[in-house]
Structure 1
Amino acid sequence: MSVVIRVIGLSLLALGMFIYPQEVLNSAGASLTLWWRFVLPALLPFFILSELLMASGFVHFLGVFLESLMRPIFRLPGQAAFVVAMGYTSGFPMGAVLTARLRKAGKISRIEGERLLAFTNNPSPGFMFGAVASGMLGKPSLGVVLAASVYLANLMVGFLFRFYHFSASPAQSLRLPSFQQAWHELKTAQLQDKRTLGQLLSDSIKQSFTTVLMVGGFMAFFSVILRLLNIWRITFLLASLSHYLVRAIPLSIQQAFFNGLLEMTIGCQQSIQAVPIINQQIALLALLMGWSGLSVFAQIIGFISGTDLRIAPFIAARTLHGIFALGLSQLFLKFAKLPVMALPSQSLSPQSQFWSTWHLSLLMFLGASGILLSLAASQRLHR
């Protein structure tokens, strides 16, 4: 039955591309322009950096120090802290890429990989502050509310997933980390990798470019699918059916919501246009960014396809993330005294948006790494 549905779906998609070639060209071109101008420069340096750090043994070095932090909180090995830091600073699909790498290398079990995958994929700080808060909303200060809601909600999901497939096995005593032990792990990892520095840099660039090209392909393909669904009025029909059941929510908002379930960026833009009240805008934006969209789901499935990691726990985590982020956003708006100043999106040039994205991601990465190392050091001093 699934094969028949797949064949019918692909046939309808091919038919739609033949009937509406100009619409397909425009939607694919727009998504690739977005990828070329923002996604490629924002993600590629972080992909290359992560490849170099993993190959140089830095992840093994970091894992020794952060084992005593990650185990009791998330029931994950210390090396998972690197995935958390990179995933939170550069956005999806970095968390999925690095989780798959650790699983293929045998550094984490399948259950640990699914726990890690559940809370290391979210929008980048540049997207929330630059694209959404400053560009779409025209209110940069609301980026604090969005980012705090999304990040804290994701950490809550990570803490809940520590109970995922939990077995009451005998507690293992955590040994006090030492610099000698961490240095030994780093040197061992370097000795196992026989590549020269030139080969390492070349392989990192090639692997990173392949990964970021996959991201562009997913963006273009799902942009075309969403455009065809809108032409065929399928999302409108779904929104109309939902509006018939829940008449309290306007039809335009429900249509923006269904578009956001498929593609997050388009859903965020349409949500701002459809919702007149700022609190409701923030609520819907937080929900959609927590959910991420089927386009991101397809990227995650593609990157973990070479492992035994399952997608069902990730979908459950995204559902929880969206609900938690929505609730936290309203809580922050109620109690936080934030100056909301309007800023026209036209005043932000593509160049300034790119640099703000890069700077925010870099600062977030350095800050997250510093916090994790400080917590590990404080735990070591207090023992």
Structure 2
Amino acid sequence: MKRFFCTMISILLLLFLMLYPEEALLCAQKGMQLWLNILIPTLLPFMILTGILIRTDLISQILLPLEPFLSKIFGISPAGACALLFGLLCGYPMGAKVTSDLYTAQKISHREAQYLLTFTNHASPVFINSYLIHTCMKGQFPAFKIFGILLASGWLTMTVMRLGYFRGNTLSKISGTKKETSSSDSPGAVLDASIMNGFETITRLGGYILMFSILNACVRHFWKNRSILSYLLFCLLEMTTGLHQLSLSSLSADTKCLCALITVTLGGICVTAQTRSLVTRELSLLPYLASKLLNALIVMILFLFITKII
């Protein structure tokens, strides 16, 4: 069924490229500009540096004194805190990638990796502040209110997942023999491996952004209705271009803000596909998807409570 669905989408995009080449080219250029001008300069250095930290295991040693705090408050290990930190700073899909890399390197257990996926993969503060608040919403809503809603919903989601889905202590012993960094691995070899891994990952992300930009253009071309559902669909297909279309709509400011918050919380189908491509197949995305839906529901409740009641 998945293969049939992918085949039909591919045929549809091929027809769209042949019948409407100018429109498809314009959207493809915008997608590649996003990848070249934003993703590569912002994400690639972090990908290389996190690869070095994971391969040398330095981050776990640095955060080791905080182990009691991390275990009690977040239910994670010092190594797991690396995914939390870089996910917070870098945004999609770095949290998921670092979590998967830590699990593959046997720095964290399978249970902790599944738990980390539920709250480390989200939009970056820079993206929210610069693109969402100032570019899309024109500063109509205070930054502290937007960040307050997102942080509160993220914390509540993490708590619910920890007490519900991952009941009890989320830490567990790592199965198998832990892989230690070999003394024969020179700094140059570690750097080379981290650079190659970073470029492979960023190239993969560029491919996803290119294909989903064309898909978004195809849907917008044939779906002429411009209701709130259509804008939500555009946002859920590809987050950045969808938010741009939402900002140009005639919807009320409150409706735009709510749709935008739901969008950055869910990430959309493109981000989910990127996340699946970067996460090892040994980790299931079901807890991740469940946490995203829960987070979006909490965001909607908090936004309506703040704007309509307070």
Query: What's the TM-score bracket when you normalise by the shorter of the two chains?
Result: 0.7 to 0.9
2:202 maps to 212
- Between the aligned partners of 2:5 and 2:305, the Cα distance in structure 1 is 43
- Which of 79-88 and 45-54 deviates more? 45-54
1:98 and 2:98 aligned: yes
- Rate the CA distance shift 1:331–1:41 in 2: closer, same or farther, 3 A: farther
CA contact 1:60–1:189 (8 Å) conserved in 2: no
Matched residue type, 1:67: E
1:318 maps to 292
Residue 42 of structure 1 deviates from its aligned partner by 1.3
Matched residue type, 1:232: F
CA contact 2:91–2:125 (8 Å) conserved in 1: yes
- Rate the CA distance shift 1:3–1:284 in 2: closer, same or farther, 3 A: closer
- Between the aligned partners of 2:307 and 2:62, the Cα distance in structure 1 is 36
- Rate the CA distance shift 1:255–1:5 in 2: closer, same or farther, 3 A: closer
- Rate the CA distance shift 1:325–1:167 in 2: closer, same or farther, 3 A: closer
Q: 1:200 aligns with which of 179, 187, 190?
A: 190
SS in structure 2 at match of 1:308:
coil
1:262 maps to 237
Provide TM-score, normalisation by structure 1.
0.72
Q: Which has the higher contact order (CA 8 A, sep 6+)?
A: 1
Residue 90 of structure 1 deviates from its aligned partner by 0.7
Superposed counterparts of 1:8-87, under 5 Å: 8-87=8-87
Residue 320 of structure 1 deviates from its aligned partner by 1.4
- Between the aligned partners of 1:147 and 1:21, the Cα distance in structure 2 is 40
- Between the aligned partners of 1:167 and 1:293, the Cα distance in structure 2 is 28
Deviations 1:331-366 (A, max 9, x none): 555799xxxxxxxxxxxxxxxxxxxxxxxxxxxxxx
- Between the aligned partners of 2:118 and 2:146, the Cα distance in structure 1 is 19
- Rate the CA distance shift 1:217–1:6 in 2: closer, same or farther, 3 A: closer
- Between the aligned partners of 2:146 and 2:106, the Cα distance in structure 1 is 35
CA contact 1:119–1:154 (8 Å) conserved in 2: yes
Residue 140 of structure 1 deviates from its aligned partner by 7.8
1:222 and 2:212 aligned: yes
SS in structure 2 at match of 1:213:
helix
CA contact 1:96–1:120 (8 Å) conserved in 2: yes
Matched residue type, 1:212: I
Count of matched residue pairs:
304
2:175 maps to none
- Rate the CA distance shift 1:282–1:167 in 2: closer, same or farther, 3 A: closer
Identity %: 25
- Rate the CA distance shift 1:282–1:141 in 2: closer, same or farther, 3 A: closer
Residue 37 of structure 1 deviates from its aligned partner by 1.3
Gaps of 5+ in 2: 173-177
CA contact 1:133–1:139 (8 Å) conserved in 2: yes
Residue 167 of structure 1 deviates from its aligned partner by 5.7
- Which of 285-294 and 132-141 deviates more? 132-141
- Between the aligned partners of 1:287 and 1:214, the Cα distance in structure 2 is 25
CA contact 1:146–1:282 (8 Å) conserved in 2: no
- Between the aligned partners of 1:86 and 1:4, the Cα distance in structure 2 is 37
- Between the aligned partners of 2:151 and 2:275, the Cα distance in structure 1 is 19
- Between the aligned partners of 1:216 and 1:321, the Cα distance in structure 2 is 27
Residue 26 of structure 1 deviates from its aligned partner by 1.4
Max radius of gyration: which structure?
A: 1
Matched residue type, 1:19: L
Residue 134 of structure 1 deviates from its aligned partner by 1.6
Matched residue type, 1:274: S
Residue 275 of structure 1 deviates from its aligned partner by 4.9
Matched residue type, 1:272: S
Matched residue type, 1:292: G
SS in structure 2 at match of 1:145:
helix
Matched residue type, 1:91: G
SS in structure 1 at match of 2:122:
coil
Matched residue type, 1:224: I
- Rate the CA distance shift 1:299–1:168 in 2: closer, same or farther, 3 A: closer
- Rate the CA distance shift 1:196–1:261 in 2: closer, same or farther, 3 A: same
- Rate the CA distance shift 1:275–1:287 in 2: closer, same or farther, 3 A: farther
Residue 261 of structure 1 deviates from its aligned partner by 1.5
- Between the aligned partners of 1:166 and 1:136, the Cα distance in structure 2 is 36
Deviations 1:46-76 (A, max 9, x none): 1122122222322221453333233333433
CA contact 2:13–2:214 (8 Å) conserved in 1: no
Matched residue type, 1:281: K
Provide TM-score, normalisation by structure 2.
0.87
Residue 220 of structure 1 deviates from its aligned partner by 0.8
1:351 maps to none
Gaps of 5+ in 1: 173-184, 241-250, 337-383
Q: 1:296 aligns with which of 248, 262, 271?
A: 271
- Between the aligned partners of 2:79 and 2:108, the Cα distance in structure 1 is 9
- Between the aligned partners of 1:80 and 1:102, the Cα distance in structure 2 is 8
- Between the aligned partners of 2:300 and 2:250, the Cα distance in structure 1 is 15
Residue 87 of structure 1 deviates from its aligned partner by 0.2
